[in-house]
Chains A and B, each alone.
Chain A
Amino acid sequence: MVKASYLFTLLLCICIMGNLSAQTAEISKERKQAIDSLALEKVRDLSKYISIIGSKGTAFSEATRVMDRAEELFAPDSEMGVSTLSSKEINYYKVRKYFERLMALNYDRISITWYNIHYISDLERQPDGRYVGVVTIYQRFEGTSEDGLMKYKDTTKKDITIYVERKKTQIAGRTVEFWDVLLGDIRVTETSS
């Protein structure tokens, strides 16, 4: 009899705690929308950084500064997939390495444009409290040499894993909570001319 009542009390406590946990974890639709928009904005920012890094008109010091900013968008150890029309192989590089290779490409003019940026998997709350989603992008790459002999164009479709986490920091002696958006691996899913 004592055991039964003890078990019942334990079960009741678990139910209450589970319910409370679910209630505190939910955020409103408007807040979720703001986080969704913030994450998409970070992807668009990355596309602009890649365009600056790849441009032959960008000074080395500027390109290095922009690479630093672009790298800060990523979670540690994230990788970027690179494909080519001439091979089925897809190579993955740490993002810093990818930026350095991009800057060193042997074209006189490079144009990289990202478009059709949208969620293919909405940001969803995970058991550890983080939100995870997937954004897909189409990338148009064009590289030309001055003499016109070298020319390469392709279009790739890439999927970007997005992580959003609630974090805290100290600003002027007070604690500020913020949503930290980090990009994960960028995987190539299609390559076409």
Chain B
Amino acid sequence: MNVIRNSSRVVMWVLVLMICFTGCKSKKKAAEAARAAEERARIEQEANLRKDEEQKRKEAEEAARREAEARQQNETTTSEPKARLNEYFQSIARSGNVASSNSSINEALALFASPDAPVLIVISEEGGQKDYDRPTTISQYLNYLKDTKNNSNTITNLLFDNSGKITEVELRKN
């Protein structure tokens, strides 16, 4: 009788142990599965993040490239007339005879909307405030270069009309 009772007790304990063991194993498996799923989700999230960042970087690069191109285009548009005008200034001031100077003056005036286009000469600048010499016109300024041979001012800004003609010049005394 005792043997039967003891053996059934053992069996019961074995069963309990088995259930526990199985339970633990299942829990462990479930935990592992959960961890794996978590890891997968984390990896996926990181991959998505990287993808987003890569996309943003590419877009920023593209925008910067477009901006640089636009800036270069703008500089070419304004620097070319500036360079040409500067060449005329030098040619007029260096010219040894009146006829040659007058010819250069007429060519230079073709860049302008009018021979009366204003010329502003900055003599000093402080705290954003510019001090100007008496304003003149481009026609008078070109003749001034011819008469005085004084080409010491630098072209700092040109304004244009819709047809690309210069409407105003700003120079700076050196």
Residues of A that sit less than 8 Å from B by CB:
28, 30-31, 33-35, 37-38, 41, 44-45, 48-49, 52, 59, 62, 65-66, 69, 167, 169, 171-172, 176-181
> Taking the complex as formed, is B148 at the interface, i.e. its CB lies under 8 A from any CB of chain A?
yes
- By a CB distance below 8 angstroms, the chain B residues around A181 are 133-134
Segment of B25-33, B68-76, B124-132 in the binding face: B124-132
Q: Are B133 and A179 in contact (CB under 8 A)?
A: yes
30 A-B pairs in the complex with CB atoms less than 8 angstroms apart: A28-B126, A30-B126, A31-B124, A31-B126, A31-B131, A34-B173, A35-B131, A38-B133, A44-B150, A48-B147, A52-B147, A59-B98, A65-B143, A69-B143, A69-B147, A171-B135, A172-B118, A172-B167, A172-B168, A176-B120, A176-B132, A177-B132, A178-B131, A178-B134, A178-B135, A179-B123, A179-B131, A179-B132, A179-B134, A180-B134
Residues of B that sit less than 8 Å from A by CB:
98, 118, 120, 123-124, 126, 131-135, 140, 143-144, 147-150, 167-168, 173
* Shortest Cβ distance from A66 into B: residue: B147
* Shortest Cβ distance from A73 into B: residue: B134
Q: Are B124 and A30 in contact (CB under 8 A)?
A: yes
Distance A59 CA – B149 CA, assembled complex (angstroms): 18
Q: Are B148 and A48 in contact (CB under 8 A)?
A: yes
- By a CB distance below 8 angstroms, the chain A residues around B140 are 69
Q: Are B98 and A49 in contact (CB under 8 A)?
A: no
Distance of A67 from chain B, by nearest CB (Å): 11
Q: Are B134 and A62 in contact (CB under 8 A)?
A: no
Distance A45 CA – B133 CA, assembled complex (angstroms): 14
Partner of A49, one of B126, B147, B149, B173: B147
- By a CB distance below 8 angstroms, the chain A residues around B173 are 34, 37-38
Distance A44 CA – B148 CA, assembled complex (angstroms): 9
Distance A70 CA – B118 CA, assembled complex (angstroms): 20
Distance of B127 from chain A, by nearest CB (Å): 9
* Shortest Cβ distance from B98 into A: residue: A62
* Shortest Cβ distance from A45 into B: residue: B148
- A sample of 18 more A-B contacts (CB under 8 A), given A30-B124, A45-B147, A65-B143, is A28-B126, A34-B173, A37-B123, A38-B123, A44-B148, A44-B150, A48-B148, A49-B147, A62-B98, A69-B143, A69-B144, A169-B135, A171-B118, A171-B135, A171-B168, A172-B168, A176-B132, A177-B132
Distance A30 CA – B126 CA, assembled complex (angstroms): 9
Distance A172 CA – B168 CA, assembled complex (angstroms): 9
Distance A62 CA – B147 CA, assembled complex (angstroms): 10
- By a CB distance below 8 angstroms, the chain A residues around B148 are 44-45, 48
Partner of A45, one of B126, B150, B168: B150
Q: Which 7 A-B pairs have the closest CB atoms?
A: A34-B124, A178-B132, A34-B123, A48-B148, A171-B118, A31-B124, A38-B123
- By a CB distance below 8 angstroms, the chain B residues around A62 are 98
- By a CB distance below 8 angstroms, the chain A residues around B132 are 176-179
